[in-house]
Amino acid sequence: MKRGDNVCYSTNGKGHWVRREWKRQCSCRVSPSGRCQGVKGHKGVHWCYSPSGDFDWDDNDDDPQHDGWCGSTPPGHEDWVSPVKMQKHCYLSVYTDTVVTDHTIIAMLEKNQTPERDAAIDRPFKKADVTRAARELLEAIRAGKTRAHKRKVNRSK
């Protein structure tokens, strides 16, 4: 079974299923902010946005146009690149949707099973489910069975 960590199945709750597959994320690190936000195998610089909004970049060894530099460009600088401009290169925004028509796969999905290991299933919320979850959470809080409640009690001692 292949890995499905970049696959999500969605339903409208009425038997209609869609399979969405994203491109895999680039595995390179961008110093010091973190992992490149581009798709695996992309050309151009490795890039990501830091929590401060800086556009951090590092040259891609596979791209002959660059010669080994890295840097960080703050918002407002003339060389800063906006997230909107980079969105088309972001691995989460590059995806393919396919309508699921195979009855065997639909039967698996209805049983919360996926053809790929680690694939996600997204179902619409039903008001009754949300109400039940909220009721269960309130009961757990009242009974002192939540971690947050226990931390609060421990701090007050």
Per-residue model confidence (pLDDT) at position 149: 47
Distance CA 57, CA 115 (A): 37
Q: Are residues 58 and 82 in the same domain?
A: yes
Per-residue model confidence (pLDDT) at position 44: 83
Q: Domain tally for the chain?
A: 3
Digit-coded pLDDT (tens) for 54-113 = 999 888 877 666 667 888 999 999 999 999 999 888 988 889 999 999 999 999 999 999
Domain interval for residue 17:
1-23+94-124
Q: Are residues 79 and 42 in the same domain?
A: yes
Per-residue model confidence (pLDDT) at position 153: 47
Amino acid found at 54 = D
Share of the chain above pLDDT 90, in %: 38
- Which residue would you say has higher pLDDT here, 25 or 134? 25
Q: Are residues 120 and 132 in the same domain?
A: no
Distance CA 4, CA 132 (A): 30
